[in-house]
Each structure stands twice: as structure tokens, then as C-alpha cells.
Amino acid sequence: MSDFSRPYGPRIISVANQKGGVGKTTTTINLAAALVESGLRVLVVDLDPQGNASTGLGIEAPDRVRTTYDLLVEDAPLADVIRQTEIDDLAIIPSTIDLSSADIELFANEKRSFLLHDALRQPLMEEYEWDYILIDCPPSLNLLTVNAMVASDSVLIPLQSEFFALEGVSQLMLTIRDVRQSANPNLRIEGVVLTMYDRRNNLSLQVEQDARDNLGELVFETKIPRNVRVSEAPSFALPVLSYDTNSTGAKAYRELAGEMLTKHQNIAA
């Protein structure tokens, strides 16, 4: 175990951006693996009905008997839904396509925005001694994403290095503000991480400059490069840190984890 600790329970981070294809799931899986390499215990919550985080961590669809759907809709106990992955100290609550109907089914519940918040604070949670919980959000600003934000300490925003990238972030910022005002006043922005970055591409450089001009210190210094190993790893149901530990993608996610941990330690000091 590293010297990093949180006496009041795990730090919960939503990985969110309503735009698809920006690297949310990839970032969730590989940041989780990098935190585990740092000696921490991590739980991933797959809140995307596509279930890509579950697949990427080796939980095949037929093996997802109890899922985030059961956690939210059926009030299932944590012990029934948490699955250990092949990586020590890294577990996941998997999802299936059933979760796509949760918005409709939960709408009549007066606590609909707090269901994940309450589920992740069951008394049993203390027994697992997680240091971090990372929530892989769906590519939309729906009730599932709101549940994630209400349950979280912060929101990590992957930002793809492409045109119009910042336009989507502005809408996400408004949602974060609304959640702060209505349900979770302590929610903060963990930071923005540039993904699929190509330093040889003028567009990547321009997006980075625009992001730093507009968002300042919210933008992580670490950038996640375009890397074929990062793209290949999910098909082998592995984080890139396990698939090719010396790849540029693996090194970048280790750097991101280190930068984030340093920030958290400085805040706690």
C-alpha cells in the first residue's frame, strides 16, 4: 500500500464527457490500472450501457449476472455486484445493455439522482478499503451521468484533440454547475486530460493551446498520445499497462496517475 490514504473513505471520480469517442473508457481502465500499480485499491463502476469498461477488464457479457442496473434499480447489495478482475486490487461493477432503460425506470423515484451516491456508501463499502472509485459515464448528460456526479468528489474530463472539442466541455461544465447548486455542492472538476494527442499534428497543438487558454490549470500537464497499443489492448481484455507495459500509452497513463496523486497529496497537506 502506498503512503497515500484517505481516512474518510475512497475518493470517487466520474470520468465524463457527453461526446462519444473521446477516450472515457480507455482513460477509466488505464488510470485505474496505473493507480493500482502505485499501490492503491481501485473499484471501477461501469455506468455505460455499452459495457466497454467491463469488456476491457475481462468481464465477458455472459458472466455479468448482477450489474450496475441491479445496484441502481433493484438496490442490490455491493457484495452481489462487485467482480474482481485479473488484476489484484482492481475490481469492477460491470454493466449490460439493461442499464439503457434505467433512466425511464428510475424517473418516478424521488431519490433518482442519489441512488448511486447511496449505493456506494453502503456500510459494507468500508470493508473493501478502496482508495479510489472511478465511474465510467455514458456519452450523454442523462440521469446516469447525474447520478455519477452526485456520487462523486470530482469529474475528470477527457478531451479529444479535435475541432469543436471545447464546445462539448462547456455544456458539461454547465451540468457540473447545476449539480453543485442542486445536489452536490462539494463537486469539483478534477481536471481535463488531452487524449489522442499527436504532437506532430498542428490541430492537436492548437486544441491544447485553446484548452490551456480557456481552462488554465484545470488542464493536466500529462497528455495521452495516439498509440496503437492503447487501441489494441481492449481486444485482449487488458489495460495497456498490462498489454504493453513499456508503450508510450502505458507511460502516459502512469504519468497521469502520478500527476493526479501529487495534486491530491498537496490538497491534503
pLDDT at res. 162: 80
How far, in Å, CA of 259 to CA of 113, rounded? 31
pLDDT at res. 7: 45
How far, in Å, CA of 180 to CA of 55, rounded? 32
pLDDT at res. 269: 65
Cell of residue 88, nine digits: 489484484
Question: Edge-to-edge, what's the strand order for the sheet holding 90-93?
Answer: 83-84, 90-93, 42-46, 132-136, 11-15, 154-160, 188-197, 219-225
pLDDT at res. 126: 87
pLDDT at res. 8: 59
pLDDT beneath 70, residues of the chain: 1-8, 269
Express each pLDDT in 49-103 by its tens digit. Answer: 999 999 999 999 888 999 999 999 999 999 999 999 999 999 999 999 999 998 8
Specify the amino acid at residue 122.
Q
How far, in Å, CA of 195 to CA of 192, rounded? 9
How far, in Å, CA of 27 to CA of 160, rounded? 12
How far, in Å, CA of 11 to CA of 264, rounded? 10
pLDDT at res. 118: 95
pLDDT at res. 110: 85
Phi, psi of 43, deg, nearest 5? -115, 130
